[in-house]
Amino acid sequence: MKTTRDQLFKMPKIELHAHIGGSIRESTIIELINKKNKDPEAIKQILDSCRIDPKQSKEVGRRNLNECFKMFEVIHDLTSTDVTVMTRITKETIEDYADDNVIYLELRTTPRAIGQNGSKYDYVTHVIKGIEDYYQSHPDSPIIVRLLLTIDRQKSLQEAKENIELAHTYPSKYIVGMDFSGNPFKGPFSNFQHLIKEAREKHKLPFSIHMGEVLNDDEVLLIISTKPERVGHAVCWQSESTRDEFIRSQIPLEVCLSSNHCTTTSREEGDHPFAEYAKTTNRSGMHMCLNCDDKGIFQTTTTDEYLMAADDFSLSVEEFCEMQADMANYIFDKESIEGVRSQIIKYRDSLSS
Ligand code: 6MZ
pLDDT of residue 56: 63
Catalytic annotation on 318? no
Looking at 15, 92, 162, 213, which residue is catalytic? Answer: 213
Report which of 191, 105, 218, 207 is spatially closest to residue 150, judged by C-alpha positions.
207
pLDDT of residue 59: 47
User: Could you tell me if the ipTM is greater than 0.85?
Assistant: yes
258: Cα within 13 Å, side-chain hemisphere: 28
Ligand 1 center to residue 3 CA distance, Å? Answer: 31
pLDDT of residue 33: 87
* Residue 263 CB–ligand 1 contact under 6 Å: yes
Ligand 1 center to residue 281 CA distance, Å? Answer: 34
Report which of 8, 88, 39, 2 is spatially closest to residue 301, judged by C-alpha positions.
8
In the chain, which stretches have pLDDT less than 50? 59, 268
pLDDT of residue 267: 53
- Name 148's bridge partners: 108, 177
H/E stretch holding 288 reads: strand 288-290
| Atom 13 in ligand 1: residue holding the nearest Cα | 19
Report which of 89, 93, 45 is spatially closest to residue 70, judged by C-alpha positions.
45
* Residue 20 CB–ligand 1 contact under 6 Å: yes
pLDDT of residue 58: 52
Give the separation between CA 187 and CA 145, rounded to whole angstroms: 30
Ligand 1 center to residue 52 CA distance, Å? Answer: 14
* Residue 293 CB–ligand 1 contact under 6 Å: yes
pLDDT of residue 116: 84
Ligand 1 center to residue 150 CA distance, Å? Answer: 9
Report which of 101, 91, 93 is spatially closest to residue 25, judged by C-alpha positions.
93
Instruction: Provide the 3-class DSSP secondary structure of residue 280.
Output: coil
